[in-house]
Structure 1
Amino acid sequence: MASQQTWGMFKSRQPAPDEAWEGVVLDKSRGMADGSNLYRYLTVRLSTGETRKIRADRGLWDSVAEGDGIVKRAGADPVKK
């Protein structure tokens, strides 16, 4: 995927600034991918049918539930629909 960069053995799941998409939240999870920082993830089914796991900020992660729609506009962070 063009939006995922790799540093060492970790992939960045942060959406690229120029990406634009819409989708539905399938799952929420948290993890310490680097062993010291807690990251929040959303598994999203995009309108194209692709499923992607993205990193979300705490505000978005707390505000969405499974089945909620989210939208990512170019130049902006993902937000709840």
Structure 2
Amino acid sequence: MKREDIWSGTVVKKSRGLLDGSNLYRRVTVRTDDDRTAKVRVNRTLWNELAVGDRVVKDADQEPHRA
């Protein structure tokens, strides 16, 4: 998904990993309201707050946040 996209959906999975060997990336898989699935990179604070089943909203040119 692009930074300028607007969407909302439900967290279906949380993951993290050292994809480049030095930086820890935190991602959530979101099923959007229009039934698409996307992996979205989020910051540590949001990743710690979210659980599977939580609602997430993404406004244009802003970071995803808990609804």
Structure 1 residue runs without a partner (length 5+): 4-15
Aligned identity (percent) is: 45
SS, match of residue 46 in structure 2: helix
Structure 2 residue runs without a partner (length 5+): none
**1:24-63 equivalence runs, <5 A:** 24-63=10-49
**1:1-81 equivalence runs, <5 A:** 3=1, 16-81=2-67
Deviations 1:26-71 (A, max 9, x none): 0101111111110001010011101111111111101110000000
Cα RMSD between the aligned structures? 0.9
SS, match of residue 61 in structure 1: helix
Using the size of structure 1 for normalisation, the TM-score is 0.78
Query: Which has more radius of gyration?
Result: 1
Using the size of structure 2 for normalisation, the TM-score is 0.94
Higher relative CO (CA 8 A, sep ≥ 6), structure 1 or 2? 2
* Corresponding pairs, count: 67
After superposing on structure 2, the runs of 4+ consecutive aligned residues of structure 1 that deviate more than 2 Å are: none
SS, match of residue 62 in structure 1: helix
SS, match of residue 42 in structure 1: strand
